Structure 1
């Protein structure tokens, strides 16, 4: 059977003007996951990412570590189907409807870095509305539309893959969540409960034969734990 390694990007720049940039911790996480793959003797046939900078930077940093170890590092291919959903667009579209019951929401969002737990509570509430399909907006990509986008990317990958290939896909937490939903049939709300636990640079593994795909492992972050540096375990 073939393997698809789903690798979440390293820590991005939460609470800054440009989230789509790896933090110094995020760069280190990317290097560690690449060194871990090399140490485990993982030989990759292909490497793919979405077109977001944090995804590509993670992929390139990890592949550089493979090269340092003397392993072949495949050229990075880009498929926007593996992009993250637009969280900012979800917030902009759905926030006005909850302001009457959450009057402090704007203040929390303006100071998200200082109010992480309250931001997470509000964000989870908005995501719950988004995935329900009851609050769809014409200007906002729906949850079902996002899942369809990810499914198209997975199908393109499987159509071009050989059954014994090992493929790395550098992507994001929401994309991994959509894949969990597609592959296991888990409900979207339960899938997002798992989403909040996905560690930056964690490894999940899919096994495939033809179009048959199964989940082999989820959210492994032993490569970070072995560093014995707690600040390397991040979720956003």
Structure 2
């Protein structure tokens, strides 16, 4: 069977005007995961990213030579848009500024989104799930044996939940566990698609590099 290794992008710029920019820590994380893959002798035959800057810059910082292909299905859901839709444009200051409150509200918002409990978002849950499935089909419709994908936490959570046949709520429970630049590995052959490894960070395994760990 072939492998699809999915890396969550490096740490972005939470709390800044433009979230879609790698922080200095995110750049170091990206270089570290690229180095550990090469150290294991794992070099991709095919490289795919979403269209977001933080995803493409993660791929660049990982240091592989080939130019990536892009598929928008690997882009994250627009959490700012979802929060604005849920709160009718009046997102509480604490939700926007306090990290713990923000992620608690995000979890609740995703569950309501899945249930169709509010309207006005640019993308429905069913549209998100469909584009992630389309991105997976794109990446695995290949003769390549090693496919490297750079994506985001929500997409990885959805890919994992789907591979496990888990209830849709599990997507967000997985999403919130996923570390920046963690490795999630799937095996595929034809229509078969299965999870082999989730949220692994061998590049953060010693006392010095563990300091690189982040979740947002």
Q: TM-score, normalised by structure 2?
A: 0.94
Inter-partner Cα distance in structure 1 for 2:209 and 2:99:
21
Which structure's CA Rg is the greater one?
1
The partner residue of 1:146 within 119, 122, 128 is 128
Kindly report which structure 2 residues correspond to 1:126-205, keeping only aligned pairs within 5 A, or say none: 126-135=109-118, 137-159=119-141, 161-162=142-143, 165-205=145-185
Correspondence 1:34-183 to 2 at 5 A: 34-62=34-62, 64=63, 66=64, 73-96=65-88, 106-111=92-97, 115-135=98-118, 137-159=119-141, 161-162=142-143, 165-183=145-163
**Counterpart mapping for 1:28-39 below 5 A:** 28-39=28-39
SS in 2 for 1:200: coil
Tell me, which stretches of 5 or more residues in structure 2 are unaligned? Answer: none
Would the alpha carbon gap of residues 4 and 139 (structure 1) be closer, same or farther in structure 2, given more than 3 Å must change? same
Unaligned 5+ segments in structure 1 are 67-72, 100-104
| 1:225 paired to 2:208 | no
Runs of 4 or more, structure 1, over 6 Å off, are none
> 2:50–2:150: 8 Å Cα contact kept in structure 1?
yes
Is the Cα contact below 8 Å between 2:154 and 2:171 reproduced in 1?
no
CA distance 1:227–1:47, change in 2 (3 Å): farther
In structure 1, what is the Cα distance between the partners aligned to 2:96 and 2:2?
45
For residues 88 and 45 of structure 1, the distance between their equivalents in structure 2, rounded to whole angstroms, comes to 35
Question: Equivalents in 2 of 1:123, 1:48: separation in Å?
Answer: 27
Deviations 1:16-58 (A, max 9, x none): 0000000000000000000001100002101110010000000
Check 1:143–1:227 CA distance in 2 against 1; reply closer, same or farther (3 A cut).
Answer: farther
| Shift of residue 134, structure 1, vs aligned partner | 3.1
